[in-house]
Structure 1
């Protein structure tokens, strides 16, 4: 795995190393892994958009525990590793980035995986997106 191009880490414990067990076992925390396959010629645009998003996250998000962006060795794909205090913090994060995300998402094709406990209403709100949901084992 490559080092993050830059990162924001309010809580370096990570999802599986915290004293209370895994993040999912504690119930409220949400973790996400998103992959953006970059279109040819879009690396510079992506890098600029990513820097803008990271600055916004570090200055406005209140419930983001982790926000890292990693770039593949051949610079064809970016992987986002994200952690949120709860579903409300994820919603706040998306609202804070609403005006910046189109520039980033316009540079490639996104898929995402969300880990945690989600209501049916929350899942429906993501209908039509390339998002898969994972719940912890009971």
Structure 2
């Protein structure tokens, strides 16, 4: 189990991002990159906050379907302290997909305890 501690920070305020970044290359899809990695046998987990207005879990599931992977473990709830905190399914080629209930685009920011449990279990090779 992972134990986290907090340390008083020294940054007076945090800016999430600079919208004036001069992008010269825009990636419109990462589906081919994911396909290349999972066909090489790498484990992967993709997760979505179910309240994410930027990249909805419905859209994420749509591009996962484009990978055409058989489902090895169908939709089921996953729990923390006997509470349903999301839903998960597993695909062949070691791909796990999970939703996090109540989380937005940056799921660990909204639901840190649940996301810590999710990643801890996944890294340990345990089912969510």
* TM-score for both structures, normalised by structure 2: 0.27
Q: Which has the higher contact order (CA 8 A, sep 6+)?
A: 1
Q: Higher strand proportion, which one?
A: 1
Instruction: Kindly indicate which of the two structures has a greater share of residues assigned to helix.
Output: 1
Q: Flag the structure with larger Rg.
A: 2
